[in-house]
Structure 1
Amino acid sequence: MTTAPTGPEPRTNPERATPKTRTPGERRLLGGLMANSLALYAIYGAVPAVLLANLVADVDPDSKTTSLGVISAVGAFGAMLANPVAGALSDRTHGRFGRRAPWMAGGSLLGGLSLIALGLGNNLLWIGVAWTLAQIFLNGLQAPLTAVIPDRTPEHRRGVFSSAAGLAQMLGATLGTAAAAAFANELGLGFAVFGVLVIIGTAIFLLLNKEPAAHAPEGGPFRWKTFLAGFWVSPRRHPDFAWAFAGRFFLILGYYCVFSYQLYILDDYLDLTRDRANHLVPLLSMAMLPGMIVMIVVSGPWSDRVGRRKPFVIASSIGMAVALALPLTLRSEASMFAYAVISGCAFGMYMAVDTALMTQVLPRPDEAAKDMGVLNIANALPQALAPAVAAAVIGVLGGYSALFVAGIVLVALGALSVLPIRKVR
């Protein structure tokens, strides 16, 4: 494992004593991490919502909704499996180029080429295979990239790096979606641009932050049975890990259950016209953005200074619950904008400290990428499940009021789940 604490050793509590200035090595690591995350999440914002949707509509206009749903589901399943597997394989990688760098280089190159191939697709099978391969390879990049924080930063600086990663992810997804609109009539060029972008972003990181050579891991020769068994992390032996997984799962599910149904909430719950609802959805997203950015930038370094993570997660959960309660009690456009502003602030705070908290509950530092990949399931799975869970709540429990209540309950469970964690304050 590569451990390179940057900055002077703290003389007192390492969680509280934070260096005021960053070393050149820390600045390079921070800049490279942001560049790579920005490029990667630009793809996640641009491709599913814009480029892929337009490509499927061109190839299969009569059944575009169903076809896009199937292709997206298969790709998401491949991504969810690839992330922890790629992370575990990188944990066991050794050689002159280190553990993470070979997987990041290979994942970005093959992922970028898959995107270029996707842009050449003229039938659904080609599109489905190319997008699934792109998801698999890009998660081969994402898993070791996520492990950079626990690998190469001290605990008392992880709030800063968590904030930087969260900011880059949010900006990448937002800017990627906006930039993709310019390629609506040149889809092949659009896929190629984003494919090259992720290759360049990864190259910047690897050139600025060369990883030392890694020795062969302990534990004997590679065996598939042992490898696969390693993905199970016992809640009894590692309760902090299990509680962190549950907290992330519930909070993300509660947030996206409502967020993913904003259009239908405006249309059916507020009884607006479809045109009015479509006009308001991007405005609600814009209303979320300023507070989200501010809280991402502020909360991570703040959590480093006070040496605590859990109060920020609990505060963000309370903020989300308050935001969800507003349209539940006040059915109006104004209440939806208030929901957007408050939930944006709350989710920004959560994004700023979530990664830092997760890195502090890992069972084994030498398997950081694998365990971070497992924890990433608690992020990806609820986003995939959210539309189905929301539909079930609305249909079975009685409409959109029940959906807001369910969201409040879920984010409250997310807050309660972090309370039993012992390793993190």
Structure 2
Amino acid sequence: MGSHQYMPDADVPAPPEPPAATGREPADDPHGPAHDPPRAERRERLGRLGPLLLTSHIAWALPSAAAGTLLQALLADERPDSKVASYAVLTAVGAGAAVLGTVVAGALSDRTRSRFGRRNPWILGGALVSAGGLAAAGLTPVFALQVLCFAVYQAGLNAMLSALHALLPDRVAKVSLGKASALGGVGYLIGTTLGGVVASKSVDDPTAGIQLVPWTMVVAALLVFFLARDASNADEPRERVAPRALLRSLLPPRDADFLWAFAGRFCVILAIFTVAFYQLYLFTDFLGLSTERASEVIALGTALLGAGALVASASAGVLSDRIGRRKPLVVVASVLVGVAAVPALIAPSIPTMIAFYLIAGVGYGTYLSVDQALMVEVLPHGGSEAKDLGFLSIANTAPLVLGPLLAAGLVTVAGYRTLFAATFVLALVGGGCVLMIRRVR
């Protein structure tokens, strides 16, 4: 990320961690570090880390949710005749930067040696870069600079997230993975809901809103850095990594379950955001509401989505740990997301959109509270958790590249109603991919 001074180094061979400690079977992988220093003694029940996970996910989800609506409003003011295409370009370039930041920062985090551990420097550094990038996007009216600043925001954000997500396999016992995943999901939902409310209050002055909202990430990163201190790994044996070997380590693992997990998450996230990308335009251009009325309905809808999702998320993660199963809950959640689109597909209106928010909220909350635990358990080996989770996180960010393009194409060719049909199909396909995973129950 450029905000730290740690050199990327490879781990030297060390005894592999027993499979029972991680929920994964060890496997050799020519594309990443094959050995992992034993860290089982550092895995424990959540304790102080739990509230910090909740806070951290609130802190990044709030500006992420607010920025979407505020940037749409900003572009509608500055580029009214090309707002849809401009937003597609902005998010596509930003998502490309997010993918790069996720994989590179994840691989470097796995190799970082410091007195602060492997993850905390990247959490704080990524938050600082991300907040600065988004705030700068609100300072310039030049579209090219807005795109560049948004790309910096996305790269920094995903560098932070690659390290934050790696705290689960690093420091959380398997019996608490569902609870940890649920706390992250609940935090994301609270942050998204608050972001929608903040955006609705700032839509008349999007520039000021864009400059203010991202600094919540920095506050949360500082809390993690100082209250969830990681053990120093500065003295761990290491050897220099040749550039070619580092590039090879950026490749994903060759593992069928890993790829099915990636495909399932990609489809479900794309299903959700196919509608969410253009929700402001859905209400103004499709349903004929004024911008002010649309912002009110979006605030109500996101609040209802958050309420339904919070109830589902709080219970699903605990249930997942109790029954020791992840897949059934993720599949049910995927189906609910698809079903949520049916009323609006058949009879688009404000009431059916409210129904979409409610049903999708329950499905999305269940999905978020269990999916991250499933992703941790599907990892094929130890030693490169941040990099491998980073690849799985691309399934979150890649829809930001394809989603606006897919949505813009569907709207241009066949109108806004087709967005709901796409959501239905993609969610069911995503659930089917999860069913194909064999290593996780």
Normalising by structure 2, what TM-score? Answer: 0.79
- Distance in 2, matches of 1:319 and 1:192, equals 36
Q: Which amino acid aligns with 1:422?
A: R
Q: Deviation at 1:317?
A: 2.1
Specify the alignment match of 2:228 in structure 1: 209
- 1:354 aligned to which of 348, 371, 393: 371
User: Within 5 A, what are the aligned runs for 1:184-203?
Assistant: 190=209, 193-203=212-222
Structure 2: stretches of 5+ with no match in the other structure: 1-35
Specify the alignment match of 1:145 in structure 2: 164
Do the aligned partners of residues 164 and 269 (structure 1) sit closer, same or farther apart at CA in structure 2, a change above 3 Å counting? same
Work out whether residues 3 and 151 of structure 1, in 8 Å CA contact, stay in contact via their aligned partners in 2: no
- Name the count of aligned residue pairs: 406
- 2:421 is the counterpart of 1:423: no
- Distance in 2, matches of 1:134 and 1:147, equals 20
- 2:36 is the counterpart of 1:36: no
Work out whether residues 59 and 124 of structure 1, in 8 Å CA contact, stay in contact via their aligned partners in 2: no
- After alignment, is 412-421 or 381-390 more displaced? 381-390
Work out whether residues 4 and 153 of structure 1, in 8 Å CA contact, stay in contact via their aligned partners in 2: no
User: Within 5 A, what are the aligned runs for 1:104-253?
Assistant: 104-121=123-140, 123-180=142-199, 190=209, 193-214=212-233, 220-234=239-253, 237-253=254-270
Do the aligned partners of residues 5 and 166 (structure 1) sit closer, same or farther apart at CA in structure 2, a change above 3 Å counting? farther
User: Within 5 A, what are the aligned runs for 1:52-71?
Assistant: 52-53=71-72, 67-71=86-90
Specify the alignment match of 1:409 in structure 2: 425
Work out whether residues 5 and 153 of structure 1, in 8 Å CA contact, stay in contact via their aligned partners in 2: no
Specify the alignment match of 2:15 in structure 1: none
Do the aligned partners of residues 302 and 38 (structure 1) sit closer, same or farther apart at CA in structure 2, a change above 3 Å counting? same
Q: Deviation at 1:222?
A: 1.3
Work out whether residues 299 and 352 of structure 1, in 8 Å CA contact, stay in contact via their aligned partners in 2: yes
- 2:306 aligned to which of 289, 292, 316: 289
User: Within 5 A, what are the aligned runs for 1:327-366?
Assistant: 327-329=344-346, 333-366=350-383
Work out whether residues 101 and 155 of structure 2, in 8 Å CA contact, stay in contact via their aligned partners in 1: yes
Q: Deviation at 1:8?
A: 11
- After alignment, is 208-217 or 345-354 more displaced? 208-217
Do the aligned partners of residues 417 and 7 (structure 1) sit closer, same or farther apart at CA in structure 2, a change above 3 Å counting? same
Q: Deviation at 1:32?
A: 1.5
- Distance in 2, matches of 1:121 and 1:267, equals 26
Work out whether residues 271 and 424 of structure 2, in 8 Å CA contact, stay in contact via their aligned partners in 1: yes
Residue by residue over 1:45-66, the C-alpha shift from the partner in whole angstroms, topping out at 9 and shown as x without a partner, is 233422x456556766776665
- Distance in 2, matches of 1:61 and 1:245, equals 36
Structure 1: stretches of 5+ with no match in the other structure: 10-24
- Distance in 2, matches of 1:270 and 1:183, equals 22
Do the aligned partners of residues 257 and 29 (structure 1) sit closer, same or farther apart at CA in structure 2, a change above 3 Å counting? same
Q: Which amino acid aligns with 1:231?
A: L
The secondary structure found in structure 1 opposite 2:229 is coil
Normalising by structure 1, what TM-score? Answer: 0.82
Q: Deviation at 1:83?
A: 1.1
Specify the alignment match of 1:300 in structure 2: 317
Identity %: 36
Work out whether residues 254 and 408 of structure 1, in 8 Å CA contact, stay in contact via their aligned partners in 2: yes
Specify the alignment match of 1:315 in structure 2: 332
Do the aligned partners of residues 386 and 185 (structure 1) sit closer, same or farther apart at CA in structure 2, a change above 3 Å counting? closer
Q: Deviation at 1:232?
A: 2.6
Q: Which amino acid aligns with 1:132?
A: A
